[in-house]
Structure 1
Amino acid sequence: MEKKEENITVAVRIRPLNERELKSTAEIAWEKKNNNIVKEIKGTREFPFDRVYDPSTHTSQLFNDLASQVINKCMEGYNGCIFCYGQTGSGKTFTMHGAKKSPGIVPQAIEAIFSHIQQAVQKEFLIRCSYIEIYNESINDLLNTNSLNLQLAEDRRNGIKIVGVTEEVCTSPNQVQSLLLLGETHKNIASTSFNQRSSRAHSIFRVIVESKNSFGKIDLSVAALNLIDLAGSESANVHTSTASTTRTREMKYINRVGFI
């Protein structure tokens, strides 16, 4: 029987202890048993995944193993989606956006897209980017603070779309990075018991890739790459008491929101 190729891959990344946890003599609860199984250190529970990564794994390896094929397919005209799910402080934003010395999946994806464009001499590309957040079931444009509570509409040709969302044409990785930095300044964040800057909304950086043949028959394709940084999913009681009402309302929507 021919082996079926899966289009969905699920991986787990075990993060190292942070400074606060080290000072409190906390211990890591899970370990990598092999490339596909994560195991409880002081228990018997274990769970299978497509891939398992230990605390020493660099984000670049995750990108090569998991994200690069999504990027390649998107450049060929297929929609793709990459996201991280987990509790506040579990390392979602670090994995997606990274740090100065350790770039995350998003900046690596941007570099890969433009590297692909430079090498594809037989095709012409147009790259458009948008950045939104879903906060308390409201879709807000992170590239335009005046565009709040945007509405969804269904287009027979292009499917579901966000009416009025800002889409910027980008011609270089630096231009895309500037949009990311602009959007980051507009995100809803709060301090929690886990970290000082916790995302209180789901954010979606969307790259629309249009391509056509440079020679011969015109073959036009349009694909969307959705790079999603989910807000932390946890009980409202982990937040500061002075903001309990706000945090409770946020958590209610974070834990039930759907995606575009």
Structure 2
Amino acid sequence: MNPSMSKDEDKGIAVRVALRCRPLVPKEVNEGCQPCLTFVPGEPQVVVGNDKAFTYDYVFDPMAEQEEVYTTSVSPLLSGLFRGYHATVLAYGQTGSGKTFSMGGTYTSAQENEPTVGVIPRVIRRIFQEREKRASSEVTLTVSYLEIYNEDILDLLCGSKDKPAISIREDPKEGIKVCSLQRGVPMATP
């Protein structure tokens, strides 16, 4: 065992699942909706109704701050990224469940250090901070950004009205890849 490896790295766990539950929105409160989830204190577990318990790697209740979500479940991925590992953060859920808030937050460049900033701006900031620390290394960073909605793959970086058909394919050598996805040009340090 490498003493610099964390317990999670030593286990070789490739996928971790985090559950983030948003608070009721005003419309739901006005309609008389009530929360149906109970959070088990000190455990990554949520109970639906009175009897269906589900355990995840991480559970964030409606009061969890963006910083806690990022620090606990996303930041460790970035440590591996600069050691050469791939990292993916996937936000999944129904419309209105809080994916956009968790991933982007209420971000504008003027709000760069606000607590409501989501995962993506925090990751970008950390990548550029780490890149500056490694001035003697060559770092190439490209970005793709997609959304899967109703089984359609949407390229969120493609500004063209005539968007190319995008499909997911499995290549025996490269693994799963998204074909025709726009890739951002290599980025320079801001």
Deviations 1:71-93 (A, max 9, x none): 22122211111112222211111
Matching of residue 46 in structure 1 with residue 53 in structure 2: yes
Q: Cα–Cα, structure 1 residues 152 and 52, in superposed 2: closer, same or farther, change >3 Å?
A: closer
- Looking at structure 1, the residues matched to 84 and 65 of structure 2 have their Cα atoms a distance apart, in angstroms, of 29
Matching of residue 87 in structure 1 with residue 88 in structure 2: no
Deviation at 1:144, TM superposition (A): 3.8
1:150 to 138, 158, 166: 166
- Aligned pairs (5 A) from 1:124-203: 124-134=138-148, 137-142=151-156, 143-145=158-160, 146-150=162-166, 158-167=174-183, 168-172=185-189
- What value does the CA root-mean-square deviation take over the aligned residues? 2.6
Matching of residue 110 in structure 1 with residue 124 in structure 2: yes
Deviations 1:112-156 (A, max 9, x none): 111111112442211112233445555454324233203566667
Task: Give the letter for the 2:44 counterpart.
Answer: N
3-state secondary structure, aligned to 2:186: strand
Matching of residue 56 in structure 1 with residue 54 in structure 2: no
Q: Which structure 2 segments of 5+ residues have no match?
A: 1-6, 108-113
Identity %: 30
Deviations 1:47-103 (A, max 9, x none): 211121111111111111110111221222111111122222111111111113411
- Aligned pairs (5 A) from 1:65-76: 65-76=72-83
The equivalent of 2:32 in structure 1 is 25
3-state secondary structure, aligned to 1:72: helix
Task: Give the letter for the 1:29 counterpart.
Answer: C
Deviation at 1:160, TM superposition (A): 4.6
Contact 1:14 1:31 in 2 (8 A): no
Task: Give the letter for the 1:38 counterpart.
Answer: V
Q: TM-score, normalised by structure 1?
A: 0.57
- Looking at structure 1, the residues matched to 146 and 94 of structure 2 have their Cα atoms a distance apart, in angstroms, of 21
Q: Cα–Cα, structure 1 residues 125 and 33, in superposed 2: closer, same or farther, change >3 Å?
A: same
Matching of residue 36 in structure 1 with residue 44 in structure 2: yes
3-state secondary structure, aligned to 1:115: helix
- Looking at structure 2, the residues matched to 19 and 115 of structure 1 have their Cα atoms a distance apart, in angstroms, of 38
Matching of residue 119 in structure 1 with residue 133 in structure 2: yes
- Looking at structure 1, the residues matched to 52 and 153 of structure 2 have their Cα atoms a distance apart, in angstroms, of 39
The equivalent of 1:77 in structure 2 is 84
- Looking at structure 1, the residues matched to 62 and 84 of structure 2 have their Cα atoms a distance apart, in angstroms, of 34
- Looking at structure 2, the residues matched to 131 and 10 of structure 1 have their Cα atoms a distance apart, in angstroms, of 20
The equivalent of 1:10 in structure 2 is 17
Asked which structure has the greater RCO (Cα within 8 Å, sep 6+), the reply is: 1
3-state secondary structure, aligned to 1:52: strand
Deviates more, 1:158-167 or 1:77-86: 158-167
Q: Which structure 1 segments of 5+ residues have no match?
A: 174-260
